Structure 1
Amino acid sequence: MAEKQSRRHFSKIAALTAAAVTFKPFYILKAKPKPDGETIGHGSYQYKVHQGWGNLDASKFPVNNCHEMVQDSKGRLIMVGDEIKNNILVYDRSGKLLESWGHEFPGGHGLTLWNANGEEFLFICDPNIGKVFKTDLKGKILLTIEHPSKVGAYKESDAFKPTESAIGPDGTIYVADGYGSQWILRYTPKGEFIDKFGGSGDLDAQFSTAHGIAIDYRDKSNPTLLITSRAHNAFKRFTLDGKYLSTIFLPGAFVCRPVFKGEQLFAGVCWSRLRYLNQTPNSGFVTILDKNNKVISNPGGTQPEYRNGELQLMLQEKPIFMHCHDVCVDTDENIYVCQWNAKKTYPVKLERV
């Protein structure tokens, strides 16, 4: 069954390739982002761009790559990056810096907030040193998950470069080895290894860049895992114990982690494509899906189009972004975009209009 589904998947890619041959891209790769104030997006999900929202004094609070951001219960916006002078920057919603900390995460990448009955913790993934850290909101390290070979889950020679984590309803820790061996590893709340699933490949239950992972609580009676397979332009759904369920195919969109807000699903798109489906630099945008996992808006990207129920190729339309690595949606439904490889830019705010 999985092989038949995979053949259908590649047939879709072939059809999209043929369509892309005649597509004329809207954007110019060397164009500079437009000034603040432009409105982007589609339908009822449109946003005003505030490019300078998160700008700080780079001599005091430098950034390299702004990788991810979360909002805590106090409304603070917490960003992780890979600049060891200040891995963590904490903003208020006006863009004012509240605090900064963190010097031990040279590849600071994944940032997950876990609210455990009112007490909040962060999980920080660092693929450069191959570790996952649980910290309090001040940066005190409470738990470290190291190379899985230490618990017999990997060979010592296997790459372990964790990119993201998620915490299940029972406290189970899920780690996505998105830059390493493409496994999803499960641990107890105390960091004891349980098992792993996935791995590298093109079957439905496998991954190609398992970059992000999140718990989908939209069906409250049946929470599931939604896991990025970025090079497949897809999110893949699994049960909480690792059984494959389905794929959300997003042609043209190299999506990062899934982010849920209400009934909607948001994601940064790190790259889109040009003709012949080649991965294109500086071509990111944001994508938004509704409760039925249908794309309803692409801020910075082309308007989503469905033909006979099939989503068509999505591309960057305007050079607002370079590589959207993550989005954070605040309590007022504004979006904050973190970018990778974007000339050391700070987070960009998209104000809901």
Structure 2
Amino acid sequence: MQDGKTDRIDFLETTTKATAGAVVMPHFNINSSKPKMCEMVIGHSDFEYKVHKEWGNLDPAKTPVNNCHEMIMDSKGRLVMVGDDTHNNVLIYDKSGKLLDSWGIRYKGGHGLSLWNDGEEDYLFICDTDGAIIKTNMDGRELMFIGHPSEYGAYEKDEAFKPTETSIGPNGDIYIADGYGSQYVLQFTKDGEFVRKIGDGRGTDDGQFQTAHGVCIDDRDKENPTLIVTSRAGNCFKRFTLDGKYLETISLPGAFPCRPVIHGENLYAGICWSSAVKFENGVAESHPSKNNPNSGFVTILDKYNKVVSNPGGTAPKYENGELQPMLQAEPVFNHCHDVCIDDDANIYVCQWNADKTYPIKLERV
């Protein structure tokens, strides 16, 4: 499974160390002597959520999943998920968790999913880590295929290309994060013509990435949209102009983020794991330099890119203006791979390497 392998390699290169954080206990329904997961409330400040762990459950004999990688909401309010089980790469839910449709039988590396509306119709961009970007309509009809960048003069033939995410710019340009490959963001026109490579490949310098796992257009400033790129093993996001100039780093110490998701004034992300926590009889113990599995949570940043809530994680803490390492606080999640936010500010969480579990709903309270 590519997620764990890539970051374990990169983790050896990063000097990020995490320290023990305060354990935030979940809130339970006081009327129940035996609390259930659906009665758990997690999060902080104005961003608290009731956990509905069985929201997306389906019959695995009929509609199996392997890794639930990413999810978007379309213009009709439907929740569309992509995964890597070729029985049905794409699942389409309504907000109640009812399955409306499923399709996709050949995306063995089904990983990234982005939505683009041209003003009239919704389209999906699917990243297959086997080396392709596929544009489809909502019924799964393939409309565009982008293969190895050597075909467009962007890479040499022997350079790895394992794309993990796309984002579509205001003019329809396609930004592709090569997160498991050569660690660049590739920019194409909406017609599939190569424009440029963004970033300086793998590394720790400002313009470099350690697992460029996600990418999004940050349009919170309508007059000045920018590009946010994940550097997952670097525990941060990096901001660029739409033509590829590095602007800043948004540090998330202790956290290994997947793709950034913009909703309203906030930035959300699934944290695949935190680097310094494990559970022994329900008690968190610190392991400062160990990349620990099954330790994901969700993080939420405000319009100033300050962390305001970590559902499933420790409360964000700043000392002298610096964010302190963030850890998993409750074993609600395994590896949070993506989040989708609906019109009511509820969060839907997709997980990687989580025993083939379906998406979880976090209901805003």
Fold match (TM-score > 0.5): yes
On the 8 A contact 1:166/1:174 being kept in 2, the answer is yes
Amino acid at match of 2:211: T
- C-alpha separation in 2, matches of 1:235 and 1:103: 33
Amino acid at match of 2:112: G
Corresponding residue for 1:159? 160
Corresponding residue for 2:262? 260
Instruction: Give 1:24 deviation, angstroms.
Output: 7.6
Corresponding residue for 2:40? 38
- C-alpha separation in 2, matches of 1:200 and 1:260: 25
Instruction: Give 1:157 deviation, angstroms.
Output: 1.0
Corresponding residue for 2:242? 240
On the 8 A contact 2:24/2:313 being kept in 1, the answer is no
Structure 1 residues 201 and 35, CA, compared in 2 at 3 Å: closer, same or farther? same
Give the 3-state SS of the residue equivalent to 1:178 in structure 2: coil
Corresponding residue for 1:305? 317
On the 8 A contact 2:57/2:358 being kept in 1, the answer is yes
Superposed, 1:115-130 pairs within 5 Å as: 115-127=117-129, 129-130=130-131
On the 8 A contact 1:78/1:88 being kept in 2, the answer is yes
- C-alpha separation in 2, matches of 1:68 and 1:177: 16
- C-alpha separation in 2, matches of 1:320 and 1:204: 34
Instruction: Give 1:203 deviation, angstroms.
Output: 0.4
On the 8 A contact 1:305/1:311 being kept in 2, the answer is yes
Instruction: Give 1:176 deviation, angstroms.
Output: 0.4
- C-alpha separation in 1, matches of 2:105 and 2:290: 37
Please report the TM-score for the alignment, with normalisation by the length of structure 1: 0.91
Give the 3-state SS of the residue equivalent to 2:259 in structure 1: coil
Please report the TM-score for the alignment, with normalisation by the length of structure 2: 0.89
Corresponding residue for 1:223? 225
Superposed, 1:20-35 pairs within 5 Å as: 20=19, 35=37
- C-alpha separation in 2, matches of 1:283 and 1:192: 40
Instruction: Give 1:153 deviation, angstroms.
Output: 1.3
Give the 3-state SS of the residue equivalent to 2:288 in structure 1: helix
Amino acid at match of 1:137: M
**Stretches of structure 1 lacking an aligned partner (at least 5 in a row):** 1-12, 28-32
Corresponding residue for 2:132? 131
- C-alpha separation in 1, matches of 2:296 and 2:70: 15
Corresponding residue for 2:364? 352
- C-alpha separation in 2, matches of 1:322 and 1:102: 26
Corresponding residue for 1:8? none
Instruction: Give 1:91 deviation, angstroms.
Output: 0.2
Which runs of structure 1 show a deviation greater than 6 angstroms over 4 or more consecutive aligned residues?
24-27
Does residue 326 of structure 1 match 2:326?
A: no
On the 8 A contact 2:73/2:342 being kept in 1, the answer is yes
- C-alpha separation in 1, matches of 2:314 and 2:37: 20
Instruction: Give 1:34 deviation, angstroms.
Output: 6.1
Matched residue pairs, number?
Answer: 332
Aligned-pair identity in percent equals: 63
**Stretches of structure 2 lacking an aligned partner (at least 5 in a row):** 1-13, 26-34, 277-286
C-alpha RMSD of the superposition:
1.6
Corresponding residue for 1:273? 275
Instruction: Give 1:287 deviation, angstroms.
Output: 0.2
- C-alpha separation in 2, matches of 1:149 and 1:25: 48
Corresponding residue for 1:195? 196
Residues 5-28 of structure 1 show CA distances to partners (whole Å, capped at 9, x for unaligned) of xxxxxxxx97x74x72x658779x
Range with greater deviation from structure 2 (195-204 or 316-325): 195-204
- C-alpha separation in 2, matches of 1:296 and 1:277: 25
Give the 3-state SS of the residue equivalent to 1:256 in structure 2: strand
On the 8 A contact 1:83/1:106 being kept in 2, the answer is yes
Residues 175-195 of structure 1 show CA distances to partners (whole Å, capped at 9, x for unaligned) of 000000001101111101111
Corresponding residue for 1:4? none
Residues 290-313 of structure 1 show CA distances to partners (whole Å, capped at 9, x for unaligned) of 000000000000000000100001
Instruction: Give 1:277 deviation, angstroms.
Output: 3.1
On the 8 A contact 2:21/2:327 being kept in 1, the answer is no
Instruction: Give 1:115 deviation, angstroms.
Output: 1.1
Structure 1 residues 304 and 23, CA, compared in 2 at 3 Å: closer, same or farther? closer
Amino acid at match of 2:313: G
Give the 3-state SS of the residue equivalent to 1:36 in structure 2: helix
Does residue 179 of structure 1 match 2:191?
A: no
Amino acid at match of 2:236: A
On the 8 A contact 1:34/1:319 being kept in 2, the answer is no
Give the 3-state SS of the residue equivalent to 2:233 in structure 1: helix
